[in-house]
Amino acid sequence: MSTNLLFKKTLTAFLLTLILSVIFTTANAERDRKGPPKGKPPAEAFSACANLTEESACSYNNSDGETIAGMCKIPRKAESSLVCKPNRGKNKGKHQRKRD
């Protein structure tokens, strides 16, 4: 019976270690993720359009120091001010089809 008890304790310790590993790995991955929280533009994107009108050219520096060029747009979510939406190619992230 002591072998059965040892097995249960070992299994419990293993499962606890596994669960804690998953929790800490997920927490670290979220903390290390760069950029603004998903779905919300950075404050610099709003500041870039503070004195501009919709469809005006704009630019701002992101957290990596890169200059992002874009156009002032009304954000999808109900915001009170315009946001500098980065210029991106039409097919960015999509496979382009070759034409003959």
State phi, psi for 72 to the nearest 5 degrees. Answer: -70, 125
Q: Are 87 and 69 in contact (CB under 8 A)?
A: yes
How do residues 15-49 score in pLDDT, each as one tens digit?
A: 999 998 888 887 666 666 565 556 678 899 999 99
Max mean pLDDT range (10-14, 30-34, 62-66, 75-79): 10-14
Domain layout of the chain by residue ranges: 1-33, 41-88
Listed in order, strand segments (DSSP E) in the chain are 57-61, 67-73, 83-86
Q: Are 94 and 78 in contact (CB under 8 A)?
A: no
Between 54-63, 77-86, 88-97, the lowest mean confidence (pLDDT) is in: 88-97
Query: What global pTM score does this model have?
Result: 0.50
